[in-house]
């Protein structure tokens, strides 16, 4: 798919799309073979569990509020990285990460991935899915692999 010239206005997504993914509202702003960018409203106390994009680099530009991204799952030494307005979170392909809003207030941000691969189709398939097992199954079909939950203590 080739990028087209134009403006995606602030209150709409591409082709009118808006997705509810694990309680977060995603609005696609750009989609081409090379990249995908979406606006996200991340309510307080929501998160995206630890996962890996084996075929994509990912970024989050925090616009409003605060987020935390945990890295270190591979070494078993998970550490949160805090980000606020204007901060850019970088998540290279193949690196496990979890995204959390632990701030007690809503956050707004802009996500991006490159290349886009199957992410647009993933969000279409995940819109409204609430069962964790189904989210994991669908995501694996679209090149996003969730880590298994930690063992019960």
- List strand residue ranges (DSSP E) for the chain, in order: 19-21, 24-31, 36-42, 47-52, 57-64, 67-71, 79-83, 88-91, 97-100, 107-114, 145-146
Residue 48 within any structural domain of the chain: yes
Q: Distance between CA 67 and CA 118 in Å, rounded?
A: 25
pLDDT of residue 1: 72
Residue 42 within any structural domain of the chain: yes
Structural domain for 94, as ranges: 18-144
Residue 95 within any structural domain of the chain: yes
What is the mean predicted confidence (pLDDT) over 127-149? 92
User: What predicted TM-score, i.e. pTM, was given to this entire model?
Assistant: 0.91
CATH (domain of 94): 2.60.120.10
Number of domains in the chain: 1
pLDDT digits (tens, 9 = 90+) for 77-100: 898 899 999 999 999 999 999 999
Residue 137 within any structural domain of the chain: yes
Residue 11 within any structural domain of the chain: no
**Strand partners of residue 109:** 40, 62
């Amino acid at each position: 798919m080739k990028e087209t010239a134009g403006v995606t206005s602030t209150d709409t997504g591409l082709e009118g799309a808006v997705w509810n993914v694990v309680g977060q509202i995603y609005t696609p702003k750009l989609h081409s073979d090379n990249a995908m960018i979406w606006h996200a409203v991340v309510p307080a106390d929501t998160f995206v569990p630890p996962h890996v994009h084996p075929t994509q680099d990912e970024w989050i530009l925090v616009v409003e509020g605060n987020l935390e991204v945990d890295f270190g799952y591979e070494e078993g030494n998970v550490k949160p990285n805090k980000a606020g307005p204007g901060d850019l979170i970088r998540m290279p392909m193949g690196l496990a990460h979890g995204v959390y809003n632990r701030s007690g207030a809503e956050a707004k941000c802009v996500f991006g991935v490159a290349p886009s691969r199957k992410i647009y189709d993933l969000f279409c398939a995940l819109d409204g899915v609430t069962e964790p097992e189904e989210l994991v199954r669908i995501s694996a079909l679209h090149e996003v692999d969730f880590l298994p939950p930690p063992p019960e203590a």
